[in-house]
Amino acid sequence: MTKTVTAQAGGRATPAISAQEIDLHYGPARVLREVSFDIDPGQVVGLVGESGSGKSTLAKAIVGVERISAGTLTVLGEPAGAARGQSGYALRRRVQLIPQDPFSSLNPRRTIGQTIAEAIDPRRSSLAGHRDEIVALLERMQLSADSIDRLPHQFSGGQRQRIAIARALAVGPELIIADEITSALDVSVQAEILALLDELLADSGITMLFISHNLAVVSQLCTDVMIMRSGELVEHGAVAEVFVRPAHPYTRRLLDSIPGSPGFSLERA
């Protein structure tokens, strides 16, 4: 994989995401607890953990939607919160979040073309001049050219998810946070989308944090994996290492509970 790296003084690449002992509270509830990790540019990293462990909260902190209460969180070399303000416009484009439920994030009254044009140029949000580019993007996601003039409700769930990916790619992001983007889909549609993603990511230099419940999916797409439990990161390493020799009992339990996920085998990892 080609890596787009920015050199630091010491010769080491600036991490795409660097978290040092971050905490995040919702009121009195401490939802992230001293979370520390670095993700290098070009890495595709899975984030796995049970429901409520804080995965989406971490995603929101990274894109600047939620504010951390302690620690340091740097995204593409900038403090995470910098994406929020007026001056965060450029950073917001470099980091794209693909949400779990694209239906709620696609405007029901705007065509797919209008929605993607708006992502490309929020000040004009006009299709003029972007039509060819958008059709090419849709076709890359295996959607027909006439999708451009249709409304979100005229697509299946899997197609809408591909539209959400196309919209994220439209701005040429350096970092994509994908939050459970295939969880709601059936296994065959999930496999199609994963294959597309795999192809898109190869040699792109794009860094991805891929949040999923599904260890099989993570082993297929990701080079590295982080395991989260009750707001703490309990394990982080290469997929092959973590899945074959899990260091933490919680990871071992997650792996033991897999028989329900078809196609998973440690051989893959």
Ligand X SMILES: Nc1ncnc2c1ncn2[C@@H]1O[C@H](COP(=O)(O)OP(=O)(O)OP(=O)(O)O)[C@@H](O)[C@H]1O
Contacts with ligand X by CB under 6 A lie at 26, 31, 49, 51-57
At closest approach, how far in Å is the CB of 206 from ligand X?
22
For residue 125, the minimal CB distance to ligand X (Å) is 29
Residue 167's binding partner, choosing from ligand X, Mg ion, none, with beta-carbon cut-off 5 to 8 A by kind?
Answer: none
For residue 105, give every residue at least 6 positions away whose Cβ sits within 8 Å of its Cβ, in sequence order, or none: 99, 164
In this structure, is the dihedral angle defined by the CA atoms of residues 171, 202, 102 and 144, taken in order, positive or negative?
positive
C-beta of 55 vs 236, nearer to Mg ion: 55
Rg, C-alpha atoms of the chain: 18
**In Å, how far are 212, 225, 231 from 189, measured between CA atoms?**
16, 23, 31
| Minimum gap (Å) between residue 12 Cβ and ligand X | 30
In whole angstroms, the minimum distance from the beta carbon of 60 to ligand X comes to 8
- Interface with Mg ion by CB under 5 A: which residues? 55-56
**Which of the choices Mg ion, ligand X, none does residue 46 contact, using the CB cut-off of 5 to 8 A by kind?**
none
Q: For residue 96, which amino acid is it?
A: Q
Pairing of strands 175-179, 95-98: parallel
Report the residue number, 8 or 36, with the smaller CB distance to ligand X.
36
Q: Which of 97/120 has CB closer to Mg ion?
A: 97
Q: Measure the CA–CA gap between 179 and 196, rounded to whole angstroms.
A: 16
**Closest distance to ligand X from the beta carbon of 49 (Å):** 6
Q: Which is nearer to ligand X, 46 or 54 (CB)?
A: 54
> Which partner, ligand X, Mg ion, none, binds residue 173 by CB below 5 to 8 Å per kind?
none
The single-letter DSSP state of residue 258 is: G
| Residue that the structure tokens 């459970």 belong to | 180
Residue type for position 115:
T
In this complex, which beta carbon is closest to Mg ion, that of residue 41 or of residue 49? Answer: 49
